[in-house]
Amino acid sequence: MTTKFTPDHEYIRVEGATGIVGITPYAQDALGDIVFVELPSVGKVLKKGDEAAVVESVKAASEIYAPVAGTVTEVNDALTGNPGLINSDPENEGWIYKIAIADAGEIDGLLDDAAYADLTK
Amino acid sequence: MAQSTAETLKTTPLVERHIAAGGRMVPFGGYNLPVQYPTGIMAEHKWTREFAGLFDVSHMGPSFLTLNSPSGDAEADHAAIAAIIEPLICGDIAGLKSGQIRYTLLLNETGGALDDLMVARSPLFGGSLYIVVNAGTKDGDFARIAAAAGDKAKLTRADGDNALLALQGPEAVNVMAQIAPGAVDLGFMQYAPFDFAGQKIIVARSGYTGEDGFEILVPNANATALWDALLADDRVKPIGLGARDSLRLEAGLPLYGHDLNETISPIEAGLGFAVSKRRREAADFPGASRILAEREGGLSRVRVGLIVEGAPAREGAEILDASGTAIGVVTSGGFAPSLGKAIALGFVPPSHAANGTLLQVSVRGRSQSAQVVETPFVPHRYFRKPKAS
């Protein structure tokens, strides 16, 4: 199991051909209290960098981009009733959607732990 | 890049306190101020509604307008200073009692709002007004007031040499009782000077949250001492600009530059109460013909409150009628922590402004339901003294 990151502070946890996408602890802290999440539709086809979801804090809306190309297979419906899960547990219960990865090669182009840690130092 | 911006920003005497408390500093109105502290906007907002929040609002524009040659007759001197400011605004200043504060609007010749502001009659001297204007408009406002004063009166800016703190929330009065006991006898929209640590502070029972509370002008030299003394009370926490905005939005209070601007009249903005009766009858304020006609129903748009289903509708979001026709725009919107849902202020034609009207807002190209509701969204809890019998 590998987790990779984008410079826009999304993570993708790769489990076989599926990626679980959310925002990093750094991102949730920067955004503050999340009050609303707009989830993608299951079946939506995304190119790398497409807007996949929107998270809203008290102050502002922020787009969440697709780290890699693929098709949305599942969304975290728990966020509809409890968007604060992104604040309390961004990497586990606060995941946003799952994607069937179209091209595993795109994963290699993302940041690894060390590179992402450098970016947010 | 961030550094060069920071260099041009002004700071308040409390900047070190904000940074030490973990405040997330942002540029606002030309000042470096905390948008939130580590607990976040939601917790700060709820704390203020339940206990007491302390805000640094030193970016705002406090000032004093004082007659150059007072006669010594307090009533005559007050009438003279009121006559200087009244031609710029729609409020009755001549009729203020000593120590009374009035919310009013600075208007242009077409009745648009150049600013909203507080004007108060000195509780001590005839011929002196305490005036507090908004941060973003203060230089223009002060120039306009100074020009009107000519050689009859002097406008003295109190920003720069003083900090302005706001203590807001249901526990504010109990906290103030420990700091300036006499201040608890002030009613809503009254002010008076008090002593704190051997220096004068000016305490007004007013605010921008809908809660009971105080706004305190304190000389820079004593600002951190007062800040620390207030925070030493465990009912008080520091609150950033983010919660200041969500609190005022729930209270239905306009934010200048968003819900009010130079094209919007007091009547359109739902601030008809700020057009005082005496001024209305005399029709002697800027833009009177438009404003009085609007008061009689000649309105094309009016400010409403909206409860929004789903994602918050932010400033600039289009308002649609039930059939999907664009009819207006959101001027402030966000999430209301006290209500747990999205709310907004915006302008629509009077035909769509009745409470209960079902409308829609467009958020990221999608229509969401919205309903017109009475403002404030959260009831005001000001402290009004019972009238003496």
CATH of the domain at A21: 2.40.50.100
Is residue B105 within 8 A of residue B113, CB to CB? The reply is: yes
Among the candidates B250, B278, B310, a domain finishes at B250
Boundaries of domain holding B363: 300-373
Mean pLDDT value across residues B49-65: 98
Interchain CB contact of A88 with B (< 8 Å): no
Task: For chain A, give the mean pLDDT.
Answer: 96
Q: Would you say residue A47 lies in a domain?
A: yes
Q: Would you say residue A120 lies in a domain?
A: no
**In this prediction, what percent of chain B has a pLDDT beyond 90?**
96
pLDDT of residue B3 exceeding 70, the answer is no
Total H helices, total E strands in chain B: 10, 19
The tens digit of pLDDT for each residue in B322-363 reads 999 999 999 999 999 999 999 999 999 999 999 999 999 999
Q: Mark yes or no for CB contact A59/B310 under 8 Å.
A: no
Is the same domain home to B165 and B310?
A: no
pLDDT of residue B268 exceeding 70, the answer is yes
Contacts of B246 in chain A (CB under 8 A): 58
Is residue A110 within 8 A of residue A7, CB to CB? The reply is: no
Is the same domain home to B69 and B132?
A: yes
Boundaries of domain holding A33: 2-113
The tens digit of pLDDT for each residue in B283-327 reads 999 999 999 999 999 999 999 999 999 999 999 999 999 999 999
Query: What per-residue confidence (pLDDT) applies to B2?
Result: 40
| Nearest CB to A56 within list B36, B311, B337 | B311
Query: What per-residue confidence (pLDDT) applies to B7?
Result: 58
Count structural domains, chain B: 3
Q: Which residue of A has its CA nearest to B242?
A: A59
CATH of the domain at B317: 2.40.30.110
Contacts of A57 in chain B (CB under 8 A): 41
- CB burial readout B199-219, b (16+ within 10 A) else e: eebbbbbbbbbbbbbbbbbbb
Q: Would you say residue B262 lies in a domain?
A: no
The tens digit of pLDDT for each residue in B99-139 reads 999 999 999 999 999 999 999 999 999 999 999 999 999 99
Q: Would you place residue B388 in the very low, low, confident or very high pLDDT band (cuts 50, 70, 90)?
A: low
Query: What per-residue confidence (pLDDT) applies to B4?
Result: 46
Model-wide pTM > 0.90: yes
Count structural domains, chain A: 1
Q: Would you say residue A80 lies in a domain?
A: yes
Query: What per-residue confidence (pLDDT) applies to A22?
Result: 98
Contacts of B310 in chain A (CB under 8 A): 36
Is the same domain home to B94 and B147?
A: yes
Is the same domain home to B93 and B26?
A: no
The tens digit of pLDDT for each residue in A39-72 reads 999 999 999 999 999 999 998 999 999 999 999 9
Mean pLDDT value across residues B220-241: 98
Q: Would you say residue A119 lies in a domain?
A: no
Q: Would you say residue B275 lies in a domain?
A: no
DSSP string, B109-140: TTS-EEEEEEEEE-SS-TTEEEEEE-GGGHHH
Q: Mark yes or no for CB contact B41/A59 under 8 Å.
A: yes
Mean pLDDT value across residues A75-89: 97
Is the same domain home to B32 and B169?
A: yes
Rounded to the nearest angstrom, the minimum Cα separation between A95 and chain B is 19
Q: Strand, helix or coil at A111?
A: strand
Q: Which residue of B has its CA nearest to A82?
A: B340
Tell me which residue of B295, B316, B299, B310 sits closest to B352, measured CA to CA. B299
Q: Would you say residue A85 lies in a domain?
A: yes
Contacts of B312 in chain A (CB under 8 A): 35-36, 56, 61
Is the same domain home to B143 and B186?
A: no
Q: Would you say residue B381 lies in a domain?
A: no
